[in-house]
Copies of this chain bind each other. A is one copy, B any other.
C-alpha cells in the first residue's frame, strides 16, 4: 500500500496496526467478495498469529467507517466488498460466486415507499455464471 494511502487512512482516525494493513491490502482491488473466513485463511499464511477476533473487529470497523461494504447475499454468511460506490451484483447459485455489476441502474423509488426514507438500493441478479451454465 502507498504511503499516501496510509496517510489517508490515518487522517480518518484509523489506527493502522500491521494486522489492519494486511486486511486492507488483501481487500484492495479484490473482486472475489471474500467472507471473514476467506480473509482469515488468506492472511494466516503470511501472518500466522492473526486471530478471528481481529479479522471480525477490523471488518466491523472498516464497515462502520465506510471503507468497505458488507454484503448479505449468500445465505447465512457475510461477504465483504472493497468497492463502496453504489453498484450491484450477480450471484451464481451453483458456485456461489459474487460478481460486480457496475452498470448504472435507474429505478424510480416505488410509490408504495413514499413515506419511507430510502437511502439506497441494491440489485442482485441470480442465475448461473458462464463457468457453471455448461
Interface residues of A (CB under 8 A from B): 70, 72-78, 88, 90, 99, 101-103, 105, 107, 109-113, 115-130, 133
Q: Which residue of B lies closest to A105 (CB)?
A: B107
Write out the residue numbers on chain B whose beta carbons fall within 8 Å of the beta carbon of A102: 112
Residues in chain B near residue A118, CB distance under 8 A:
90, 125-127
CA A133 – CA B115 in complex, angstroms?
9
Of chain B, the residue at the smallest CB distance from A119 is: B127
Complex formed: what's the CA distance from A103 to B125 in Å? 18
State the number of copies, please: 2
A124 & B121 in contact (Cβ 8 Å cutoff): yes
Question: If the complex has contacts A122-B123, A123-B122, are A133 and B110 also in contact, measured as CB distance less than 8 A?
Answer: no
What is the bound-complex CA distance between A73 and B121, given in angstroms?
12
Cα(A72)–Cα(B133), bound, Å: 23
- Are A112 and B101 in contact (CB-based, < 8 A)? yes
A119 cross-chain contacts in B, Cβ below 8 A: 126-128
A23 to B123 Cα, complex, angstroms: 30
Please pick, from B75, B107, B113, B123, the residue contacting A90 in the complex, using a CB distance under 8 A.
Answer: B113
Residues of B within 8 A of A88 (CB): 110
Complex CA–CA separation, A88 to B111 (angstroms): 13
